[in-house]
Structure 1
Amino acid sequence: MSVAIVIPARYASTRYPGKPLVELTLPDGSRKSLIRMTWDAAQQVGGVDHIHVATDDDRIRDHCEAFGASVVMTSEAARNGTERCAEAAEAVGADLIVNLQGDAPLTPPWFVEALIDGIGQADVATPVLRCDRKTYDMFVEDRRAGRVGGTTAVFDRAMRGLYFSKEVIPWIDPTKVPDPVPVFHHVGAYAYTPAALRSYASWPEGELERREGLEQLRFLENGAHVACVEVEARGRTFWELNNPADVARIETALKENG
């Protein structure tokens, strides 16, 4: 089975325009763009045959090609990373397409490897990470401040996805937060079959997808099997760059992760 990682990247982000080209400070004091950091993270994943950046922006293409990345140009019509992956899949031609989103440079390789191993008979596989108290508090802090931060996931006993939300679900009485915290952080990565991507591209945008701004809800709204694969942080901090405020969080996590 051939596996390709596709890193979708667009310049015109609603919440953070130009996000892929934002530079972060590494622990050694050097600076590196967000998309370059994600490319480097993809290089650490085992069992992958090809890695490509998928973009519609010449600035991102030129930047990525300058550090040696393979770039697949996609149309401006792609509304989210999954639609962009669906376009790129035709050019990539792999048996399994992995979407490693360009704003998640802290994604450990074992998260992605778990998807490749765990998709089974599902249409889509995506990682979920149980929140520790620090991460849960960051979710709650973002919502109190009116920021749309990370995404949470709920699933059934067979680990089949039931819902994903930018709200913190399930709700927990703030005076009785249990240990372990029963909230799972949805990690922004996916493994898809080519057939699932073709179907996705043929479906209209769903009501829940539009309201939440979460692309994976289109799969659930159309009855697709989305497998949630639980992963472990192994002592590392995970967070995505969703808002400008997350730059400092990621830079801190880089130092903590070594």
Structure 2
Amino acid sequence: MKTVILIPARYASTRYPGKPLVTVRQPDGSHKSLIQMSWEAACSVPGVDAVYVATDDARIEDAAKRFGAEVIMTSRDCENGTARCADAVTNGGLDADLIVNLQGDAPLTPPWFVEALIDEMKRDPDAVMATPIIRCDRETYGNFVEDRKNGMVGGTTAVRDNAGNALYFSKEVIPWLDPKKVADMDPIPVFHHVGVYAYRRQTLLDYAAWGECELEQLEGLEQLRFLANGASVRCVEVDGRGRVFWELNNPHDTARIEQALEAIAQ
């Protein structure tokens, strides 16, 4: 099964313009851009045939080529990362069987998260796409709740059915937990959705043809388009192995990522 990783990246982010080129301090004191860190994370995944940055912006293209990445230019009209991946498959003439979308704001994504998706897609030929979820520890759950109290959008949570397929994704913390009972809950019954996807080629192309749905527009979550159109989204539970996973959604997340990098290096 030919597998490629695409890293969709746009400069004109609504919440955080220029986010792919934001630099993050490394444990050795150096700085790397978010897009370079994401590319290095993608390149660390074994068994992948190729890794590409998919962008519509010349600044991101230039930066990516300087650190050695291959780039596929896409339309400026792509409304989200999944649509950009679909556009890259078409524009780049990619003949891959499996396309992995590793978004450019999640440089802490461990390689075994992506491996788990690839393994699941190989194991079950009926799975049309897959995405990882990780059970929240108390720190992550606390960050989610704190962001919501402060009126900020942080990570995404997911709920799934007994077969492991998604029921819903939300930027709210779901399921709702009674604050009086949370302290006694072990483990925390909330799953953090990790923004990585593996798609069959045709499923990805179907996504682009469907067009935006209402839930996707309301929540700002691209994966809801699959659910709205009856496509199952397999949620694969992964083990963080002690790592704190956090995406760069807001400027203050930079400090969280730098702290996580320090912890990994120790």
TM bucket normalised to smaller: over 0.9
Aligned residue in 1 for 2:217: 210
CA-based RMSD of the aligned residues comes to: 0.6
CA deviation after TM superposition for structure 1 residue 242, in Å: 0.3
Aligned residue in 1 for 2:108: 106
Q: 2:99 aligns with which of 79, 97, 100?
A: 97
Moved more, 213-222 or 197-206: 197-206
Letter of the structure 2 residue corresponding to residue 170 of structure 1: P
Q: What are the equivalent positions in structure 2 for 1:68-147 lying under 5 Å apart?
A: 68-90=68-90, 91=92, 92-119=94-121, 120=124, 121-147=126-152
Q: 1:152 aligns with which of 154, 157, 170?
A: 157
SS in 1 for 2:179: coil
CA deviation after TM superposition for structure 1 residue 225, in Å: 1.2
Measure, in 2, the Cα distance between the counterparts of 1:27 and 1:229.
30
Unaligned runs of 5+ in 2: none
Letter of the structure 1 residue corresponding to residue 114 of structure 2: V
Which runs of 4 or more aligned residues in structure 1 lie more than 4 Å from their structure 2 counterparts after TM superposition? none
CA deviation after TM superposition for structure 1 residue 43, in Å: 1.1
Aligned residue in 1 for 2:249: 242
Moved more, 182-191 or 115-124: 115-124
Q: How many residues align?
A: 258
Q: What are the equivalent positions in structure 2 for 1:28-47 lying under 5 Å apart?
A: 28-47=28-47
SS in 1 for 2:247: coil
Q: TM-score, normalised by structure 2?
A: 0.96
For residues 22-41 of structure 1, the C-alpha deviation after alignment (integer angstroms, 9 at most, x for no partner) is: 00000110000000000111
For residues 151-170 of structure 1, the C-alpha deviation after alignment (integer angstroms, 9 at most, x for no partner) is: 00000011011100000000
Measure, in 2, the Cα distance between the counterparts of 1:54 and 1:13.
15
Measure, in 1, the Cα distance between the counterparts of 2:47 and 2:132.
17
Measure, in 2, the Cα distance between the counterparts of 1:15 and 1:254.
23
SS in 2 for 1:14: coil
SS in 2 for 1:176: helix
Letter of the structure 2 residue corresponding to residue 186 of structure 1: H
Letter of the structure 2 residue corresponding to residue 169 of structure 1: I
Q: TM-score, normalised by structure 1?
A: 0.99
Q: 2:205 aligns with which of 173, 198, 211?
A: 198
Aligned residue in 1 for 2:240: 233
Measure, in 2, the Cα distance between the counterparts of 1:3 and 1:232.
23
Measure, in 1, the Cα distance between the counterparts of 2:156 and 2:232.
19
For residues 51-78 of structure 1, the C-alpha deviation after alignment (integer angstroms, 9 at most, x for no partner) is: 0000000000000001110000000010
Letter of the structure 1 residue corresponding to residue 132 of structure 2: P
Measure, in 2, the Cα distance between the counterparts of 1:252 and 1:148.
20
Measure, in 2, the Cα distance between the counterparts of 1:137 and 1:167.
13
For residues 187-220 of structure 1, the C-alpha deviation after alignment (integer angstroms, 9 at most, x for no partner) is: 0000001110111011121110000000000000
Measure, in 2, the Cα distance between the counterparts of 1:217 and 1:206.
8
Letter of the structure 2 residue corresponding to residue 54 of structure 1: A
Letter of the structure 1 residue corresponding to residue 37 of structure 2: M
Measure, in 1, the Cα distance between the counterparts of 2:127 and 2:152.
33
Letter of the structure 1 residue corresponding to residue 53 of structure 2: V
Measure, in 2, the Cα distance between the counterparts of 1:107 and 1:97.
17
